[in-house]
Amino acid sequence: MKNQEVALLLNKISALLELKGENRFKVIAYAEAARRIENLPTPIENLYREGKLSEIPGVGQSIAEKIKEYLETGKSSYLEELGKEIPEELIELEQVPGVGPKVALLLYKELGVRTLDDLEKALSAHKVRNLPRLGPKSEENILRGLETIKRRSSRIPLGLALPVAEELVLYLKQFPFVERVDACGSLRRMKETIGDLDVLVASNDEEKAMQAFTRWPEVQEVLAFGSTKSSVLTKSALQIDLRVVRPESYGAALQYFTGSQAHNIKLREIAIRKGFKLNEYGVFRIEDDKKIAGATEEEVYAALDLPWIPPELREDQGEIEKAKLGELPHLVELKDIKGDLHVHTDWSDGTSTIEGMVRGAKKRGYEYLAICDHAQSLGVAGGLTWEKFQEQKLKIEEVSQKENFPILWGLEANILADGDLDFPEEILREFQIVVAGVHSAFRQTRGKMTERIVHALKSGVIHILSHPTGRLIGKRDPYEVEVEKILEVARESNTAMEINSSPERLDLKDRDCRKAKEEYGLKMVINTDAHSEENLDLMKYGVAVARRGWLEPGDVLNTYPWKQLLEWLKGKRERMP
C-alpha cells in the first residue's frame, strides 16, 4: 500500500508551495489531499488501476495527475521542478516552531541555512537576531523550537508505524517458513509514539526469512543484513529491524523484545529469586542450565508464577504486583465497543452522509451511533445554525427509522474563550447528546484555560468533554490546563471524558485515563471523531489508549447496551441544575 508514500509526496509539494509563497488555496489543497490519502482504507494503487483517483475527496484533476505519474514512475517531475527553486531541506527547517515558511526562506537566502544543523550553528553564532524583522527574542524562540523538534523527531507516531507494521506482518505471514510473526517493542505495547520499529519472526530457516524481509516491496534500502537481525528503511522513511528466532524460543524473545525495560528488569529479579535465569532464549534453571520455558509468552510468565500480562500494561506501573495477586484488570477490547458517540457528517465538515456513517457503524457491528456535527460559530466550513440542526434532526430520525438503527442527534459544541458555549443552554438541552470541546484560543494561561473549561462543565449540559487537552502529537503540545481540576469538576457535574481515537490526538492520554478512573471514578467514552466512514476504523487506537489506562468495559460508556446508555445520558440531564 503506497498511501503513506503518496501522502508524503503531496505534503512535500504543499510545503514547497508554501515556502514559495504560492496561493494559499493551492497549498491547502495539496495538504488536504495528503490527509485524505493518509486515511484511506484502500490502497491508492487499486484506485489508480480502477481509474478512480479523482473520486477521492479533495483530489482534483491536477493532483490526480501527479499521483498517477508517481505511481507509474516512482518520481514526480513537479516536485523536482519545485526543488530546483527551493531546496527540499527547507521543509524540515520550516517546521521548527518559531520559524515557519517566511523565516525559513529568509534564513536560507540571507545566511545560507538549509538544515537543522546549519540553523543550530547560526543560532549559536547569534546571526539570526540581526536578520530583518527578527531580533534577540525571535532568536530565543527559534532556539527553543529547535530543542522541541529534536526531542520530537526521535519518535514515530503510532498512527504512522502501526499500519506499516501490520502490512509487513501480513506480508511475512504468507511464507511457509515463517511460523509466527509479531511486531514487538513499544508498538506492541501501543505507546502513542514508537522508538524503534521491531518485528520478530519464528522460523527454522533464518536465511530465507531474512531474504523475504529485505525483498518486501516497501523496502527502499537495506541498512544491514544478518542471519539473526536485519534492518531496512521503508519508502515511507521508517526504519524497521527484524529478528528471526527459532520457534522454541519465540515466546521468550517476544516477551524480551516487547519490553518495557522496566517491566523486564522486574521479571528478571523474580526469576533470580526463584533460582532461574530469564533472557531472550527462555527461562533456565541456574543450577543445571535446564530450559524450563520459552516457546510461548504464557509459558514464560507461568514459569515465574504469573498470569500472562497484556502488553499494554507492561510499563512497571504496578501490573506485576497485581498479576501476583491475580488482580489484573479485564481490559476493554475493540469487540466490547457498541457505538461511536462523536462523528461528523457532510452536514458540517465531514465527507460522508448520515446514511454512510450509519452503514459504517453497522458494518462494524455497532448497535448505535451519535451524530455530532459542528455548530456555526466554530467557523469550520458548513458549521450548522440552529435551524439547520433542527432540519438535521428530522433527517436523522428518518434514517434511524429506515435503517432500524438507533442514532442520537447531537452536536459538538465549542467551548468559547470565556467558557460559554456556542448555543444558549436552553437550546443545548434540546439535543440528545452534547459533546463539547476547545477548538480555538489555545494559548490562554493555565488559570484562564482551566477556568474556561470548568465554567463550561458547570453549565451541566455537556455529556462528554471532547479531546480534553487539545494536543496534536508531534505538532501541538496540550494547552496549559490543570487536568486534576477538570477531572474533579467532571465528577461533580457527571461529565464523561472522551478518549479521542484520532492517532494524532489520543486525548485523554493513557496516564490521565487511569487517573480519571482510579482517583475520580469518572466514566470515559472512546470516540473516533470520524469525519468519514472509513475513519470509524480509528477506534482501535482509542481502545489501545484505554487499555494502557487500565480501563475495563464498565469504565467505558460506549460499551453499554443502547438502553443503558440512554439511561446514563438522561440521568445526566436529570442531575442538571
Does 412 help bind Zn ion (rule: CB under 5 A)? Answer: yes
Residue 218 engages Zn ion in binding (rule: CB under 5 A): no
Instruction: Specify burial of residue 532 (Cβ count, 10 A radius: 0-12, 13-18, 19+).
Output: buried
Name the minimum Å distance from CB 293 to Zn ion.
Answer: 47
- We find the least distance from the C-beta atom of residue 532 to Zn ion, in angstroms, to be 12
**201 or 361: whose CB is closer to Zn ion?**
361
Q: Which is nearer to Zn ion, 34 or 375 (CB)?
A: 375
DSSP annotation of 375:
B
Question: Taking CA 289 as the corner, what is the angle to CA 287 and CA 291, rounded to the nearest 5 degrees?
Answer: 125
User: CB-wise, 245 or 438, nearer to Zn ion?
Assistant: 438
Judged by CB under 5 A, does residue 507 bind Zn ion?
no
Strands 193-194, 197-202: parallel, antiparallel or unpaired by DSSP?
Answer: unpaired
Q: Does 437 bind Zn ion (CB under 5 A)?
A: yes
Nearest approach in angstroms of CB 429 to Zn ion is: 20
Closest separation between CB of residue 529 and Zn ion, Å?
A: 4
Find the shortest distance in angstroms from Cβ 489 to Zn ion: 19
Least separation in angstroms between residue 406's CB and Zn ion is: 20
Cβ count within 10 A of residue 118: 16
Binding segment for Zn ion (CB under 5 A), chosen from 26-34, 106-114, 239-247, 459-467, is 459-467
What are φ and ψ of residue 283, in 5° steps? -105, 125
Q: Within 10 A of 21 (CB to CB), how many other CB atoms are there?
A: 12
Q: How far is CA 115 from CA 14, 83, 87, 97, 120, in A?
A: 19, 15, 10, 14, 9
- DSSP structure string for 52-103: -GGGSTT--HHHHHHHHHHHHHS--HHHHHHHHHS-TTHHHHHTSTTTHHHH
For residues 76 and 63, what is the distance between their CA atoms, to the nearest angstrom?
A: 11
Residue 340 Cβ, how far from Zn ion at the closest point, in Å? 11
Q: How far is the CB of 463 from Zn ion (least distance, A)?
A: 14
The string of DSSP codes covering 111-138 is: H---SHHHHHHHHHTT-GGGSTT--HHH
> C-beta of 475: minimal distance to Zn ion in Å?
15
Among the listed ranges 200-208, 231-239, 307-315, 528-536, the one in contact with Zn ion (CB under 5 A) is 528-536
The distance of closest approach from Cβ of residue 374 to Zn ion in the complex, given in angstroms and rounded to an integer, is 7
> CB-wise, 201 or 557, nearer to Zn ion?
557
233 contact partners, CB below 8 Å, separation of at least 6? 219, 220, 221, 223, 239
- Fill in the per-residue mask, 79 to 118: x = in contact with Zn ion (CB under 5 A), - = not in contact: ----------------------------------------
CB of 240 to Zn ion, least distance (A): 33
Q: Is residue 552 a contact partner of residue 322, using CB atoms and an 8 Å limit?
A: no
Q: Using the rule CB under 5 A, is 468 a contact of Zn ion?
A: no
Outline where DSSP puts E strands in 180-336: 180-183, 193-194, 197-202, 219-224, 229-234, 239-245, 276-279, 282-285, 291-293
Residues in Cβ contact with 100 at an 8 Å cutoff, skipping those fewer than 6 apart: 94
- Closer CB to Zn ion, residue 38 or residue 529? 529
Positions in 26-85 near Zn ion (CB under 5 A): none
Total number of residues shown for the chain: 577
* Residue 522 contacts residue 498 (beta carbons within 8 Å): no
Q: Is residue 529 a contact point for Zn ion (CB under 5 A)?
A: yes
Residue 344 vs 514, nearer CB to Zn ion: 344
Q: Which residue stretch of 217-225, 394-402, 429-437, 556-564 sits at the interface with Zn ion (rule: CB under 5 A)?
A: 429-437
Number of shown-chain residues binding Zn ion (CB under 5 A) = 4
**x/- site string to Zn ion, residues 307 to 326, per CB under 5 A?**
--------------------
Point out which span in 297-305, 458-466, 475-483, 484-492 binds Zn ion (CB under 5 A). Answer: 458-466
**Residue 331 vs 538, nearer CB to Zn ion:** 538
> Of 103 and 465, which has the nearer Cβ to Zn ion?
465
401 neighbors 424 (Cβ within 8 angstroms): no
Closest to Zn ion by CB, 251 vs 437, is: 437
Stretch that binds Zn ion, among 92-100, 397-405, 449-457, 461-469 (CB under 5 A): 461-469
- With beta carbons less than 8 A apart as the criterion, state whether 463 and 496 touch: yes
Among the candidate windows 103-111, 173-181, 415-423, 521-529, which touches Zn ion by CB under 5 A? 521-529
Helices (H), 413-493: 425-428, 446-458, 483-492
Q: How far is the CB of 256 from Zn ion (least distance, A)?
A: 40
For residue 320, which of 367, 239, 370, 255 has the smallest C-alpha distance? 255
Nearer to Zn ion, 105 or 354 (CB): 354
- Min dist. Cβ of residue 530 to Zn ion (A): 9
Of the candidates 476, 553, 474, 470, which has an alpha carbon nearest to the alpha carbon of residue 512? 470
| Nearer to Zn ion among residue 309 and residue 536 (C-beta) | 536
Told to check if 549 binds Zn ion by CB under 5 A, we report no
Phi, psi of 575 (to 5 degrees): -85, 0
Give the cell for residue 349. 465538515
Amino acid at 263: H
Strand partners, 221: 233
Q: Applying CB under 5 A, which part among 43-51, 251-259, 396-404, 431-439 lies near Zn ion?
A: 431-439
User: Which of residues 310 and 350 has its CB atom nearest to Zn ion in the complex?
Assistant: 350
Residue placing its CB nearer to Zn ion in the complex, 5 or 529: 529
What is the spatial order of strands in the sheet that 229-234 belongs to?
A: 180-183, 197-202, 239-245, 229-234, 219-224
User: Quick one: which segment of 98-106, 265-273, 405-413, 532-540 binds Zn ion (CB under 5 A)?
Assistant: 405-413
Q: Please, are residues 506 and 191 in contact by the beta-carbon 8 Å criterion?
A: no
Give the residue closest to Zn ion by C-beta: 529
Q: How far is the CB of 527 from Zn ion (least distance, A)?
A: 8
What is the binding site for Zn ion (CB under 5 A)?
412, 437, 466, 529
